[in-house]
Amino acid sequence: MTRLRGYLYPKSATGASSVVPAPPWHYSGDLLTVEYRTDPARVRELLPRPLELAEEDPGAVAVIWADWQSCAASGEELLDPVRSQYKEVLVVVRCTYRGRPYSRCVYIWVDKDFAVARGLHQGYPKKLGSIHQTRPHPHGPAPRIEAGARFGATLAAADRRIAQAVVTLREPSGSGGFVNAHPMAHHRWLPSIEKGKGLALDELVETAAASVDAGTPWRGDADLELFEAPTEELARLEVREPIAAYYRQVGTVWDGGLLLESHTSGAE
Amino acid sequence: MTRLRGYLYPKSATGASSVVPAPPWHYSGDLLTVEYRTDPARVRELLPRPLELAEEDPGAVAVIWADWQSCAASGEELLDPVRSQYKEVLVVVRCTYRGRPYSRCVYIWVDKDFAVARGLHQGYPKKLGSIHQTRPHPHGPAPRIEAGARFGATLAAADRRIAQAVVTLREPSGSGGFVNAHPMAHHRWLPSIEKGKGLALDELVETAAASVDAGTPWRGDADLELFEAPTEELARLEVREPIAAYYRQVGTVWDGGLLLESHTSGAE
Amino acid sequence: MTRLRGYLYPKSATGASSVVPAPPWHYSGDLLTVEYRTDPARVRELLPRPLELAEEDPGAVAVIWADWQSCAASGEELLDPVRSQYKEVLVVVRCTYRGRPYSRCVYIWVDKDFAVARGLHQGYPKKLGSIHQTRPHPHGPAPRIEAGARFGATLAAADRRIAQAVVTLREPSGSGGFVNAHPMAHHRWLPSIEKGKGLALDELVETAAASVDAGTPWRGDADLELFEAPTEELARLEVREPIAAYYRQVGTVWDGGLLLESHTSGAE
Amino acid sequence: MTRLRGYLYPKSATGASSVVPAPPWHYSGDLLTVEYRTDPARVRELLPRPLELAEEDPGAVAVIWADWQSCAASGEELLDPVRSQYKEVLVVVRCTYRGRPYSRCVYIWVDKDFAVARGLHQGYPKKLGSIHQTRPHPHGPAPRIEAGARFGATLAAADRRIAQAVVTLREPSGSGGFVNAHPMAHHRWLPSIEKGKGLALDELVETAAASVDAGTPWRGDADLELFEAPTEELARLEVREPIAAYYRQVGTVWDGGLLLESHTSGAE
């Protein structure tokens, strides 16, 4: 009898074809975070019940650029870096579930298929984008991580620029921001293959890092611009008031989450 | 109360952000199909129960290059063609389910995120690839669709060439091949977010075109090469005996499928 | 003694490495042309002496999308289509040289290196861009080449959209436009490797197709938008008055040009 | 009278469109160098007269991966990093000119147009490629720059993998290699626009960094593989004997070169 192997698709006799191996997934990366306040009504409209708006600072948004290298347990992807390196922009808000605070990724873009696939599993709504962020470097014109250093960051999708930021570092900080600081409350949704039959998968899951090994964050200021596009709504989370920006180098591990709710026959 | 809209992720107040709008999905494209026989044991090992090997010609495989333009009901993607055009290579075998013949896509690569997302819904195990196929043209050095015309086709993933073919057309044909001629029997699988808890989604679905408007197929010969790669197993479906090759221009519509089986707590 | 071979760089013992083989170069492609009038002063500022503004309709501009398959004499690139297919947007104005009318490409973007290299030789100032245009198709939702058919076309560079157009076809036409209808008057410039020494190469060349085999053009209307970008000046050629739009399928051959003037020690 | 501005093409009234601004050009980057010996005859066949084979260790080759951020004097590209970041693989041999030792880049691939354009000026024979190299990182699974650290590096062009290496660092080193340690002796060649008229530009130039600010190199071992491809000849420089591998972080400035010889009517 055939026993198909592979953590995700495509499954095969050996499992070698899977778009991503089984967790734990290990990451090294640089995070450039821009926090600001938007109209809380624009956050609320992205929160399906039973999620509720955060009580304190409900309009806070974080737009986070990340430049990653990632691998599964064997680490072999690091030596074939087209399989480990990817870039990401994620847009995070806060919410509450049964009175507890959560972060929630409402939009996200990446530039590799293995990152899309991990997002399906974790409930990140990943599209493809073209993503760039200035890298710190010890020599030449690129910035060091130090006071006054400036980092640029851009996002495009479907051949349109969606967001861009310039961040100026000011000083070391005790935190890397507060918006993306809680466990994530994400949905995993898939419509029924049959029209009009609602959702075949409708789960609310909690996901967070299994461990984090991070450097000292730097805090600074950001100039953030969001642009309209026919199939993107990031600009709807308009910038009302800047909060702060952060630069942080991190190592992290992801190794599974927690099912909060499952509704197998919910109306779509 | 918030009512989120959007056929797939990300959901929003308007639904405009969804990586793909709701079906029906309309397609115009050129299909270059190469059929051959491999060791039937290599087909069987890709068929999870309750699927069984086809009784007749069980080692038949089709490798199909497709150059698509697609859209939802409004057709607006056609006028912003970065949102409608994509290329695809799919690898199809046959199987039986409860005694009825089905086709099944075992490997597939595309080059756009909206195509990845449609595949998630339809059970196509899509990775990203770099895909090229010669286009017919009425003028200059590119081939017409006629006897003796030659078309090249290539597939790369993760910066490695995985497959290449050169097809020479011979004559008009009554069919475009037999391997991809049945409804598809696909799985939609997603692991539980909790480690060791098996599958959260485990469905066997049937999916087929709602309608097809196709031109006359041309039949010919192919020279097909498959290459090894660390994370691909297409070359394991080694070419034992060529069958035929086909060129066909088609219009088609997809508008939902049929749930055959669902196992909500199956062991992973 | 070593004899290096190769039409362009890199040269080698065999010549196989050259980014493009020697002419003649053969092309099959679809051209979507949008003609309009801008301020003639904006055209004049792009014409170095001894080129002068066209006497009649001096503000006419053509923005042309082209979807190409190309090859050298052997045609082998057509069977490995990643080496033959490319897309292009060129912006053309008219001028006069010694009283004779010429066309001149002032901006151009392509998406492959062999196309960049051919442009160096021919005096096309090629950058890389991301280019899309709707393709006609005999089946499904994509347009046929017929009255009322609509084609979209877009250009992005450095992750910003630079231009987009929607063209509606009206009727067959006796011509495919008048702006790009003359031989091209192009410069081939390269600065001295030594700072402050002016130009090492400063040629005015004439280049035109050696032969053309084209289908009947269709004429129509266009909605063209040009967008600002920090390193692009296409939007400076602002649309004052639409002229017409054209769709044409062509085969063509390029096989060398003519040196009009050479200034080997001109000030830069 | 029109005065066109712009260091390279396209020239315009403002100069803003030029694919690259005027030097000096500033660079920050990480270099992964693999040195080995090939058959000296394979090096000699890539050296046009008057260049001669190096007297000592004439078969030495360096394959160098580089991960760059670059900018002109204003530095503005660093804040729009799609315009500053690029990756590169260059293949370097040594030679002599009038008895003096030079390095010479015989093959090179980059992934941005501004890098292609700078190469035209400097005599680097640049094609486009897809290039990846492991990045050092202070946290998580990516390597630190330390003994035992392993870095992978890959090169693909036209959807085929051309080269890959895994480098293991052993210890700090007094040098970053000897093959790419001399000024470069490069040709700048362009055929006449008229067929059969030989070269319009035929220069031998010397180019070197105006200044370098580099970190301590690390020395190690490499496993290097070169692959055949129809339009690449890197594999012809077959690995006979490994020499060493190096990792180095550098800042550098380029600000013009020196014309060694110019032949304006040489036979092609």
User: What is the dihedral sign for C-alpha D71, D72, D75, D76?
Assistant: negative
The secondary structure of C125-179 as a DSSP string is -EEE-EEEEPPP-SSSSSPPSSTT-EEEEEEEETTEEEEEEEEEEEEE-S-S-ST
To the nearest whole Å, the CA of A220 is away from the closest chain B CA by 30
Strand partners, B108: B90, B126
Cβ pair B123, B261 in contact under 8 A: no
Residue of A nearest to D168 (CA): A79
| A210, A258 contact by CB (below 8 A) | no
Q: Find the closest chain A residue to D142 by CA distance.
A: A28
Q: Do residues D118 and A174 lie in contact, with contact meaning Cβ atoms separated by under 8 Å?
A: no
Whether A158 and B262 lie within 8 Å, measured CB to CB: no
Q: Residue B268: its pLDDT value, please? A: 40
Yes or no: say if B126 and B119 are a contact pair by the CB < 8 Å rule.
Answer: yes
Kindly list the residues of chain B whose beta carbon comes within 8 Å of any beta carbon in chain D: 130, 132, 154, 156, 159-161
Give tens-digit pLDDT for A115-174. Answer: 999 999 999 999 999 999 999 999 999 999 999 999 999 999 999 999 999 999 999 999
- Is residue D177's pLDDT more than 90? yes
Spell out which chain B residues touch chain C, with contact meaning CB-CB distance below 8 angstroms. 26-30, 69-71, 75, 78-82, 84-85, 130, 132-135, 137-143, 150-154, 164, 166, 213-215, 249-252
What is the per-residue pLDDT for B2? 66
Q: Which of C27, C85, C137 sits opposite B69 (nearest CB)?
A: C137
pLDDT recorded at residue D266? 46
Query: Beta strand D85-97 with D100-110: parallel, antiparallel or unpaired?
Result: antiparallel
Q: Which residues of C touch B143 (CB under 8 A)?
A: 78
Which domains does chain B possess? 27-181+215-255 (2.40.400.10)
* Other CB atoms within 10 A of residue B99 CB: 7
Q: Residue type for D49, please?
A: R
Averaged over A72-86, what is the pLDDT?
98
pLDDT digits (tens, 9 = 90+) for D64-77: 999 999 999 999 99
Tokens of D48: 């046009």
Q: What share of chain C is helix, strand, coil (3-state, %, to 5)?
A: 10, 50, 40
**Residue D49 neighbours by CB distance under 10 Å:** 9
- Confirm if B225 and B90 have CB atoms less than 8 A apart: no
pLDDT of residue D3: 85
Contact C26 B141 (CB under 8 A): yes
Closest residue to C81, CB basis, from B28, B80, B134: B134
Q: Which residue of A has its CA nearest to B12?
A: A46
Q: D83 and C7: CB-CB below 8 Å?
A: no
Three-class DSSP category at D59:
coil
Q: Could you give the CA distance from residue D229 to residue C82 in angstroms, rounded to a whole number?
A: 13
- Which amino acid, one-letter code, is at A115? A
CB D48 within 8 A of CB D104: no
Query: Each residue of C56-87: pLDDT tens digit?
Result: 999 999 999 999 999 999 999 999 999 999 99
List, for residues A29-65, the tens digit of each pLDDT value. Answer: 999 999 999 999 999 999 999 999 999 999 999 999 9
Please check the confidence at residue A71 and state whether its pLDDT lies above 80. Answer: yes
Per-residue pLDDT, B253: 98
CB contact under 8 A, D135 and A84: no
Q: How many residues does chain A have?
A: 268
Q: Are B240 and B36 in contact (CB under 8 A)?
A: yes
Q: Cβ contacts of residue C17 below 8 Å, gap of 6+?
A: C6, C10, C11, D107, D231, D232, D233
C-alpha closest to that of B122 among A200, A126, A20, A267: A200
| Greater model confidence, C267 or B140 | B140
Of the pLDDT bands very low, low, confident and very high (cuts 50, 70, 90), residue B265 is: low
Within 8 A of A139 by CB-CB distance, chain D residues are: 28, 213-215, 249-251
Give the nearest chain D residue to A26 (CA atoms).
D141
Shortest distance between the Cα of A32 and any Cα of chain B, in A, equals 22
Residue with tokens 């192009």: C186
Among the residue ranges A26-30, B234-238, C1-5, the one predicted with the least confidence is C1-5
Is the pLDDT at B267 greater than 80, yes or no? no
What one-character-per-residue DSSP string does B157-175 give? Answer: ETTEEEEEEEEEEEEE-S-
Neighbours of chain D (3+ CB pairs under 8 A): A, B, C
Residue range B93-106, pLDDT digits in tens = 999 999 999 999 99
Report whether A132 contacts A156 (CB < 8 A). Answer: no
Centre a 10 Å sphere on the Cβ of residue A97 and count the other Cβ atoms it contains. 18
In terms of Cβ atoms closer than 10 Å to its own Cβ (0-12, 13-18, 19+), residue C255 is: middle
Exposed/middle/buried for C264, CB within 10 Å: 0-12, 13-18, 19+?
middle
- Going by C-alpha positions, the residue among B118, B247, B114 that lies closest to residue C138 is B247
Q: What is the pLDDT of residues A173-232, one digit of tens each?
A: 999 999 999 999 999 999 999 999 999 999 999 999 999 999 999 999 999 999 999 999
Q: Which of A160, A87, A60, D69 is nearest to C164 (CA)?
A: A160
Q: A138 to chain D, minimum CA–CA distance in Å?
A: 7
ipTM value for the complex? 0.96
Which residues of B are less than 8 Å from D132 in CB distance? 159
Q: How far is C149 from chain D, CA to nearest CA, in Å? A: 34
Q: What pLDDT shows up at residue A266?
A: 46
Contacts of A53 (CB under 8 A, 6+ apart): A40, A43, A44, A47, A95, A96
Residue B116 pLDDT greater than 60, yes or no: yes
Identify the bridge partners of residue D133 per DSSP, sorted by sequence position.
D153
Output the pLDDT for position B103.
98
Asked whether the beta carbons of residue C75 and residue B141 sit closer than 8 angstroms, the reply is yes
Cα B266 → chain centroid = 26
C-alpha C237 chain-centroid distance:
16
Chain B closest CA to A242's CA: distance in Å?
Answer: 23
Cβ neighbours of C84 in B, within 8 Å: 134
- pTM equals 0.97
Residue D2 has a pLDDT of 66
Nearest CA in chain D to C76: D230
**CB–CB of B132/C81 below 8 Å?**
yes
Q: What value does the mean pLDDT of chain B take?
A: 96
Chains that touch B (3 or more CB pairs under 8 A): A, C, D
Number of neighbours of residue D21 by Cβ within 10 angstroms: 20
Q: pLDDT at residue D227 above 50?
A: yes
Amino acid at A179: V
Residue of B nearest to A128 (CA): B113
**Where is pLDDT greater, at B267 or B63?**
B63
Mean pLDDT to the nearest integer, B112-120: 98
Residue B9: closest CA among chain A residues belongs to which residue? A125
CB contacts < 8 A, B to D, total 18
Asked if residue C50 has a cis previous peptide bond (ω within 30° of 0), the answer is: yes
Identify which of C27, C152, C250 has the shortest CB distance to residue B79.
Answer: C152
Residue C244's contacts (CB-CB under 8 Å, 6 or more residues apart) are: C35, C177, C219, C220, C221, C222
Chain segment D206-223, per-residue pLDDT in tens: 999 999 999 999 999 999
pLDDT tens column, D109-133:
999 999 999 999 999 999 999 999 9
User: Nearest by CB to B249, which of C139, C151, C251?
Assistant: C139
Cβ contact (<8 Å) for C121 and D190? yes
Intervals of chain C under pLDDT 50 = 266-268
Look at residue A72 and tell me whether its pLDDT is greater than 90: yes
Cα B125 to Cα A143, B97, B186, D113, distances in angstroms: 42, 19, 9, 34
Give ∠ CA D109-D110-D113 in degrees, rounded to 5: 130
CB spacing of B10 vs A49 below 8 angstroms: no
Average pLDDT in chain D: 96
Q: Which residues of C touch D125 (CB under 8 A)?
A: 9-11, 19
- The Cα of D116 is separated from the nearest Cα of chain B by a number of Å equal to 20
Report which residue type is found at D212.
V
Q: Rounded CA gap, D59 and D230, in Å?
A: 24
pLDDT of C266 reads: 46
**Of A132, A154, A160, which is closest to C161 when you measure between CB atoms?**
A160
Of B168, B180, B176, B165, give the one whose Cα is nearest residue B248. B176
pLDDT value at D1 more than 60: no
Give alpha helix (H) positions in chain B. 40-44, 113-122
- Please check the confidence at residue D108 and state whether its pLDDT lies above 70: yes
3-state per-residue secondary structure call for B77-89: HHHCHHHCEEEEE
Task: For A36-49, give one letter per residue: b (16+ CB within 10 A) or e.
Answer: bbbebebbbbbbbe
